Amino acid sequence: MKFPELCPFTGGSKLGGRIQVTRTRTQLLLPVPFVGLFSLQKAGHITFPASAVIAIIEKLLTLLSWLALIGGFGMFFYLSKHSAAKGSWDGRDLYFIGGGLAVFYFLKIIRWLCLSRARIARVGMGGLEVRFASEPYAREFARMNDLHVSDHRSKKRAMPVAVNDVR
């Protein structure tokens, strides 16, 4: 794929990083008794060239979110172990799990807000529907790759059609 010489997230012209945008879509979810859940998912990935600052911020937000989650659980287990050894467990250690989860989701939302200017809108049978906040970037991207560009959102999902020759 060919990309314009602009960052789709900031509109700047200095490119120095890459950001992978992903989206998964669950197609089938079956509970299997005594075994668990069986799920069938489709995943779409596309990597955009981006400015180095946005790429570093994206990596940093991802790393910090996972560190917050692991740190919250780690502090819970560490403090509950020490309070159980003293024999005075009061349940305040559970706040670290809640805090770790809250910070994890907060940083994930911030990351999504930073990357929402170029996103995957729909994962289809053999392709992706990508939406850009910048119309000139979308038109240039579509022109460079011979893709269709639309000014409005489609109200219906595309339905695959099979045609058989009838004689």
Domain count, the chain: 1
pLDDT tens figures, 59-94: 999 999 999 999 999 999 888 887 767 776 677 788
**Pair 14, 35: CB distance under 8 Å:** no
In-domain check, residue 118: yes
- CB burial of residue 23 (10 Å; 0-12, 13-18, 19+): middle
In a domain, 6, yes or no: no
Which amino acid, 152?
H
SS3 call for 154: coil
* Collapsed DSSP state (helix, strand, coil) of residue 162: coil
* Listed range (11-15, 26-30, 105-109, 150-154) with the worst mean pLDDT: 150-154
Q: Has residue 152 been placed in a domain? A: no
Higher pLDDT, 11 or 156: 11
Closest by alpha carbon to 13, among 52, 56, 51, 58? Answer: 51
Whether residue 121 lies inside any domain: the answer is: yes
Using the predicted structure, report yes or no on whether residue 141 has a pLDDT greater than 50. Answer: yes
Domain assignment present for 2:
no
Distance between CA atoms of 75 and 73, rounded to whole angstroms? 6
Whole domain around residue 72: which residue ranges?
17-145
Going by pLDDT thresholds of 50, 70 and 90, the confidence category of residue 129 is: confident
